Chain A
Amino acid sequence: LALLEKSREFFQICDREEKGFINRADLQHLQTELSLSSNELQDVFDVLDADQNGSLTLEEFTTGFSQFLFGEKTI
Chain B
Amino acid sequence: DPNIKGAASEGVLANFFNSLLSKKTGSP
* CB pair B13 A64 closer than 8 Å: yes
A interface: dominant SS: helix
Write out the residue numbers on chain B whose beta carbons fall within 8 Å of the beta carbon of A43: 8-9, 12
B interface: dominant SS: helix
**Residue B20 contacts which of A34, A40, A47, A67 (CB distance < 8 angstroms)?**
A34
Q: What residue of chain A has the Cβ atom nearest to residue B14's Cβ?
A: A68
How many B residues are at the interface, by size bracket? 10 to 19
- How many A-B Cβ pairs are below 8 Å? 42
Write out the residue numbers on chain A whose beta carbons fall within 8 Å of the beta carbon of B23: 13, 33-34
Give the CA-CA distance A34 to B17 in the complex, in Å.
9
Give the CA-CA distance A41 to B20 in the complex, in Å.
12
Write out the residue numbers on chain B whose beta carbons fall within 8 Å of the beta carbon of A41: 16
Give the CA-CA distance A48 to B13 in the complex, in Å.
8
Q: Taking beta carbons and an 8 Å cutoff, which residues of A are in contact with B? A: 9-10, 13, 33-36, 40-41, 43-44, 47-48, 64-65, 67-69, 71
